[in-house]
Structure 1
Amino acid sequence: MSFDRIAPVYDTLSRLVYGKSMVASQRHFLAAISSHATVLIIGGGTGWIVQELFAVNSTCSVVYVEASQEMIRQTEKKIKPKDASRIRFVWSEEIPVGAVYDCIITNFFLDLFSEQHASNRIHQIKNILKEDGCWIVTDFVDEGRWWQKILLKSMYIFFRTLSKIEATSLPPWRLQLEREGLRRKASQKFYHGFIESSLYVHVHKPLT
């Protein structure tokens, strides 16, 4: 799986199809991230999300994990010199281990995987999220409308052809997050309900 081929036009394509909805959905919960938070962004794309985050949070630090080298290069160009020490880039398709984070952001990431692999990724990510930490998930949802099904099918054909993603359909990511014990604190829908941004919390369960 690689987004190198479409990295130069990815943002333009998303705007052509979804207008401002994709950007608005990913911005929505950034202000909820606490000061001095350690933030993990997985599959951050071309990096504009980091610019937005640093604009609303002047003290957080970011680990930016991206499978596409071209996406990382584009992100590096967007980082202001004064913010360079606040971000570390990781070129990898794997979920990083060895640290835990106050906040994790996955934007249009879980939809890349089959149902089983999405479940595995969610479990891995939960394990590196601090107790009471937040997870901002923004992704597509299928509410059964005919036009949503057409868009989903078209997108999966497009990205399987150009980027070799494994998924052929949208995994039930909301149900999978709930099964992992993550509590949805707030959510907001965009693009007529086709895109949802949700703020989940890793709630500590006391020993009994």
Structure 2
Amino acid sequence: MQEAFSQTKNASAVKNNYDRVAWFYDPLSRIVFRNAQIQAQQALIPYIPEHANILIAGGGTGGILEAIADQYPAGLRITYVEISEKMIRKAEKRFTGKNTVTFVHSAIEDYAAKSHFDVVITAFLFDNFTQEKADRIFQKLDKLLQPDGKWLFTDFHIDKKSSRSWKTWLLKSMYLFFKFFSEVEASQLPDTTSLFKKAGYHAIFTAFWYRKFIHSSIYQKP
């Protein structure tokens, strides 16, 4: 079962909106990263509890929905929040099994939740934000996650030893590209590791992909 509604007014005018790249985002991802972006997300799916209430923040074109349905064909309640209307249109066409999926056209910072969640999923979301905004988004999502809940986190990763590596140059090129097409606010990755640490989260799974340029972790809320 699927439902859809909007909480964002004039979403095309806001920043971090991928409407202009929605039609070629997935092919571009495969050209640059092969299947690493989706594999990094798929590795976290087995940790989702059965019958979980899930929030997907910034879900993009919805590939994660099909990956979830492959392992959990029924019994999940999923709220799918995405700022790009064109991305949501693509996501709505995905196979979701018999899971209940509610699509919300909204920036995550504007999303008015009606419940708390057992699982929060953020894949390549925080790289769009400045550190200040990342702090605010983290605090909001943290409040929406139940105690002992799981946060499935995937994003790009740059360590201090990579300051002059190909990863840094690729990341800079990506920011220039998406600033032009999607008005992405950030110019560098925010420090999300410290946010989880300060909030008392415990990493129960961590893996790296694409020569450690992509990082995925499962954080357990205290």
Q: TM-score band (shorter)?
A: over 0.9
Q: How does 1:67-106 map to 2 (within 5 A)?
A: 67-79=83-95, 83=98, 86-93=100-107, 94-106=110-122
Q: Gapped runs of 5+ residues in structure 2?
A: 1-14
Q: How does 1:151-190 map to 2 (within 5 A)?
A: 151-190=170-209
Contact 2:138 2:195 in 1 (8 A): yes
Distance 2:182 2:140 in 1: 23
2:64 aligned to which of 43, 49, 59: 49
Query: How far did 1:138 drift?
Result: 0.1
Distance 2:180 2:69 in 1: 34
Distance 2:119 2:219 in 1: 10
- Structure 2 equivalent of residue 117 of structure 1: 133
Contact 2:38 2:63 in 1 (8 A): no
Q: Secondary structure at the match of 2:24?
A: helix
Q: Gapped runs of 5+ residues in structure 1?
A: 204-208
- Structure 1 equivalent of residue 26 of structure 2: 11
Distance 2:87 2:118 in 1: 24
Query: How far did 1:97 drift?
Result: 2.8
Identical-pair percentage: 34
User: After TM superposition, what 4+ stretches of structure 1 lie above 2 angstroms from structure 2?
Assistant: 94-98
The CA RMSD over aligned residues, in Å, is 1.2
**How many residues are matched?**
201
Query: How far did 1:183 drift?
Result: 1.5
Distance 1:53 1:78 in 2: 11
Q: Secondary structure at the match of 2:92?
A: helix
Query: How far did 1:40 drift?
Result: 0.5
Distance 1:137 1:112 in 2: 14
